């Protein structure tokens, strides 16, 4: 059989360059993603790192250097030379080793599908080689690009088609905890793997922007699957959550949405911060690296405070850092965490609360509810469509 270049793909697009998604393809993508169907991503590792799907694993046809060499050859010497180079790079023992790796993975992941970038020649070649080896595997029509476009459109449609409600409140009001108790809630911070503040970094880092958006879109599909067809509830966020950006169309809708305002006493909010940022975070460090857990935890806290030095002002930063260091010393010596309340309370009162009141004053006309977290849950249940 005559192969075209391994890097060249087939694509069905409209005049604007968008993939043409048929209803049958959309239904297939929805089924694959909602069922957590294993997906074998045969793109090069560099492509996979930019973004993939939660249930996908990278088993490339071409490694990065091979893909780069073929692309360079195509530009410098033309298509025929690139075709010949592609066959030389993936033949003999290399080809057999890759087929065996794909077969082993498919055996461990029954029901899997495979895809390349556009559902074209790379996935077609892998599919053919697997079939010749006795291991048939279906491939995703339109590949990564088509399924990615489907997820982008899912976010856009949800942003326009669903009424939105934004949960706002001062720092420490447990907005994320409340959101997770609402059947129509979507946790942006959870998908971004960041709590959205100077202290919000989580172990393991953040996903790529594309992976963040893909996970968000799949969550929206799950709401649809559970027939949560009324409003969409999200936490009040800035456009950036750590290094990730809320998709523009969704963020624009959030800026116009009605607000449910959570109000909790200062001591309750300090409790939430103490549990979420001190006790819970230390437990994460202990699970990841028991030997160095406390030193890494202390570096995380002090580094987070240092990042807002300019906004705090030098004198306030020095005082808060002293309180934080004292609390860490007590915690290291005795295991007690209560001393952290001193700097937490000061930081809430003197830094976060004034900033929050300033921002809220511009949006009071959008507030449709004010009350405690428990009152919000009751109100949300009574007003859900």
Q: Tell me what pLDDT residue 197 has.
A: 83
Q: Tell me what pLDDT residue 13 has.
A: 55
Residue 58 backbone phi and psi in degrees, to 5:
-90, 115
Question: What is the distance in angstroms between the CA of the first residue and the CA of the last residue of the chain?
Answer: 58
- Catalytic sites, residue numbers: 116
Task: Report the C-alpha gap between 123 and 364 in whole angstroms.
Answer: 53
Task: Report the C-alpha gap between 319 and 347 in whole angstroms.
Answer: 10
Radius of gyration of the chain (CA): 25
Q: Tell me what pLDDT residue 61 has.
A: 94
Q: Tell me what pLDDT residue 3 has.
A: 40
**Phi-psi group of 206: left, alpha or beta (phi > 0 → left; psi -120 to 50 → alpha; rest → beta):** beta
pLDDT band at residue 373 using 50, 70 and 90 as cut-offs: very high
The architecture (CATH level 2) of 23-149 comes to 3-Layer(aba) Sandwich (3.40)
Angle (CA) 51-5-143 rounded to 5° is 35
At 3-41, the pLDDT tens digits run 444 444 434 555 555 666 788 889 999 999 999 999 999
Q: Dihedral sign, CA of 60, 63, 69, 71? A: positive
- 113-115 and 185-186 beta bridge pairing: unpaired
Q: Which two tokens stand for residue 248?
A: 């523009």
pLDDT at 337 over 70: yes
Q: Which two tokens stand for residue 277?
A: 């940022």
CB 222 within 8 A of CB 333: no
At 182-213, the pLDDT tens digits run 989 999 999 999 988 888 888 788 999 999 99
Q: Where are the domains of the chain?
A: 23-149, 164-385
Task: Report the C-alpha gap between 243 and 245 in whole angstroms.
Answer: 7
CB atoms within 10 A of CB 186: 22
Q: How confident is the prediction for the chain on average, in pLDDT?
A: 90
Specify the higher pLDDT residue, 2 or 300: 300
Q: Dihedral sign, CA of 228, 231, 233, 237? A: positive
């Amino acid at each position: 059989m005559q192969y075209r270049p391994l890097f060249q793909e087939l694509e069905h697009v409209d005049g604007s360059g968008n993939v043409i998604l048929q209803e049958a393809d959309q239904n297939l993508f929805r089924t694959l993603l909602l069922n957590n169907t294993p997906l074998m991503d045969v793109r090069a590792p560099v492509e996979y790192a930019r973004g993939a799907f939660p249930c996908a694993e990278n088993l490339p046809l071409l490694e990065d250097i091979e893909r780069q060499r073929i692309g360079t050859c195509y530009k410098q010497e033309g298509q025929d030379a690139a075709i010949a180079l592609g066959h030389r790079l993936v033949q003999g023992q290399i080809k057999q080793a890759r087929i065996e790796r794909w077969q082993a993975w498919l055996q461990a992941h029954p029901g899997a599908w495979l895809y390349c970038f556009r559902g074209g020649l790379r996935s077609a070649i892998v599919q053919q080689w697997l079939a010749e080896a006795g291991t048939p595997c279906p491939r995703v029509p339109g590949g990564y690009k088509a399924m990615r476009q489907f997820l982008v459109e899912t976010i856009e449609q949800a942003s326009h088609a669903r009424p939105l409600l934004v949960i706002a409140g001062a720092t420490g009001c447990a907005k994320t905890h409340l959101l997770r108790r609402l059947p129509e809630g979507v946790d942006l911070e959870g998908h971004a793997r960041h709590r959205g503040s100077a202290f919000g970094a989580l172990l393991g880092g953040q996903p790529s922007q594309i992976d963040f958006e893909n996970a968000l879109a799949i969550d929206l599909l799950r709401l649809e699957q559970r027939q949560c067809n009324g409003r969409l509830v999200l936490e009040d966020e800035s456009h950036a959550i750590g290094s990730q950006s809320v998709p523009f169309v969704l963020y624009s809708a959030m800026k116009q949405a009605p607000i449910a305002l959570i109000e909790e006493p200062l001591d309750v909010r300090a409790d939430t911060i103490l549990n979420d940022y001190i006790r819970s975070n230390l437990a994460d460090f202990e699970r990841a690296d028991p030997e160095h857990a406390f030193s890494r935890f202390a570096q995380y806290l002090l580094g987070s405070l240092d990042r807002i030095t300019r906004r705090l002002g030098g004198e306030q930063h020095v005082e808060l850092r002293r309180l934080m260091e004292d609390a860490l010393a007590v915690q290291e010596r005795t295991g007690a965490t209560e001393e952290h309340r001193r700097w937490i309370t000061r930081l809430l009162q003197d830094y976060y609360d004034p900033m929050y009141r300033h921002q809220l004053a511009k949006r009071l006309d959008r507030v449709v509810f004010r009350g405690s977290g428990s009152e919000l849950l009751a109100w949300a249940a009574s007003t859900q469509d």
